[in-house]
């Protein structure tokens, strides 16, 4: 399994518009982050997790010629705002794009992209085939996937996903014990770490590291990183040996 980090930033990305901080002005490419998303490749299958506003740029940059499925973690714009751009794949592949999401997420998709689901469709609108998922294992592109339910804010929840020995979780602030059981044994875990200061809807660095120390994967990567976390070079020196900061275009194998 090969995983490409298409984006590792928060809802605003890094640099943030009009920000004058040293992270936003860093010349290190590892400090420049598009909205969070990954590409998972297993044999000839390609699955994208989240389809944010930078989806088009990410697909072009990585020269992606086809995708087999998109998994959506939750209904926020920075995780589904790029769905209109699946039109290109519809045209090239001559088929709808399979999108896997909860009913809550599907409601947002239909509201945001109502023209794609109209009974009188304008020619060329995105063709999206929605698949309803719940908190139980499912298949996408013939690949078995286990969702991991995590709390994002109050009673708002996100889905992380485990495929074989790889688990990806973003935008979480709490993971229940019964959900951690699903993660245990993963060789590689990717989890969000927004900043050092505590946040109401995302793990901060201390909280993310505490969970990783509890789950003990062989390797771990931090994502959904804001400019408030600090420079890649500086923060990397503070991490335990098995944990790395993810950055855009990083490729790992599991």
Kindly report, residue by residue over 153-199, the tens digit of the pLDDT.
Answer: 998 999 999 999 999 999 999 999 999 999 999 999 999 999 999 99
For 104, which DSSP code?
H
- Residue 70: which CATH number? 3.60.15.10
Residue keyed to tokens 């286990």 = 146
Q: State the average pLDDT over residues 70-77.
A: 98
At residue 54, φ and ψ (nearest 5 deg) are -95, 10
25 close to 31: Cβ distance less than 8 angstroms: no
What whole-number distance in Å separates Cα of residue 81 and Cα of residue 209? 29
Q: What is the largest CA-CA distance in the chain?
A: 56
What whole-number distance in Å separates Cα of residue 117 and Cα of residue 244? 41
The count of domains in the chain is 1
What tokens appear for 83 in the block? Answer: 């769905």
Query: Which run of H or of E encompasses 1?
Result: none
At residue 161, φ and ψ (nearest 5 deg) are -140, 135
The pLDDT, as a whole number, for residue 209 is 98
Q: How far apart are the first and last CA of the chain?
A: 5
Count of alpha carbons within 13 Å of 91, Cβ hemisphere only? 9
For 159, which DSSP code?
E
At residue 221 the predicted structure's pLDDT band, cuts being 50, 70 and 90, is very high
219 close to 242: Cβ distance less than 8 angstroms: yes
What average pLDDT does the chain have?
98
126 close to 83: Cβ distance less than 8 angstroms: yes
Q: State the average pLDDT over residues 71-93.
A: 98
Q: State the average pLDDT over residues 203-228.
A: 98
pLDDT (tens digit per residue) in 8-39: 999 999 999 999 999 999 999 999 999 999 99
What tokens appear for 61 in the block? Answer: 């940059």
At residue 65 the predicted structure's pLDDT band, cuts being 50, 70 and 90, is very high
Q: Looking at the DSSP assignment, which residues form a beta bridge with residue 130?
A: 99
pLDDT (tens digit per residue) in 144-162: 999 999 999 998 999 999 9
At residue 136, φ and ψ (nearest 5 deg) are -155, 155
Count of alpha carbons within 13 Å of 201, Cβ hemisphere only? 13
Query: Which run of H or of E encompasses 166?
Result: strand 166-168
The pLDDT, as a whole number, for residue 179 is 98
At residue 243 the predicted structure's pLDDT band, cuts being 50, 70 and 90, is very high
What tokens appear for 209 in the block? Answer: 């590291």
Q: Which residue range is the domain that position 108 belongs to?
A: 2-253
pLDDT (tens digit per residue) in 116-147: 999 999 999 999 999 999 999 999 999 999 99
């Amino acid at each position: 399994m090969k995983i490409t980090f298409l984006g590792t930033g928060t809802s605003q990305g890094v640099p943030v518009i009009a920000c004058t901080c040293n992270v936003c002005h860093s010349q290190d490419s590892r400090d420049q982050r598009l909205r969070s998303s990954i590409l998972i490749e297993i044999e000839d299958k390609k699955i994208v997790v989240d389809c944010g506003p930078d989806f088009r740029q990410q697909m072009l940059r990585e020269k992606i010629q086809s995708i087999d499925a998109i998994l959506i973690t939750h209904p926020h714009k920075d995780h589904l705002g790029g769905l209109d751009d699946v039109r290109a794949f519809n045209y090239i592949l001559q088929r709808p794009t399979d999108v896997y999401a909860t009913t809550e997420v599907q409601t947002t998709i239909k509201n945001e992209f109502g023209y794609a689901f109209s009974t009188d469709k304008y020619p060329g609108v995105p063709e999206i085939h929605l698949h309803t998922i719940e908190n139980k294992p499912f298949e996408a592109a013939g690949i078995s996937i286990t969702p991991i339910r995590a709390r994002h804010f109050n009673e708002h929840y996100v889905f992380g996903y485990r495929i074989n020995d790889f688990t990806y979780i973003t935008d979480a602030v709490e993971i229940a014990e019964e959900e951690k059981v699903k993660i245990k044994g993963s060789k590689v875990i990717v989890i969000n770490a927004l900043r050092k200061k505590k946040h109401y809807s995302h793990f901060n660095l201390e909280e993310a590291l505490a969970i990783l120390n509890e789950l003990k994967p062989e390797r771990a990567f931090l994502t959904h990183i804001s400019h408030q976390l600090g420079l890649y070079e500086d923060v990397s020196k503070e991490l335990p040996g098995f944990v790395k900061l993810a950055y855009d275009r990083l490729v790992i194998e599991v």
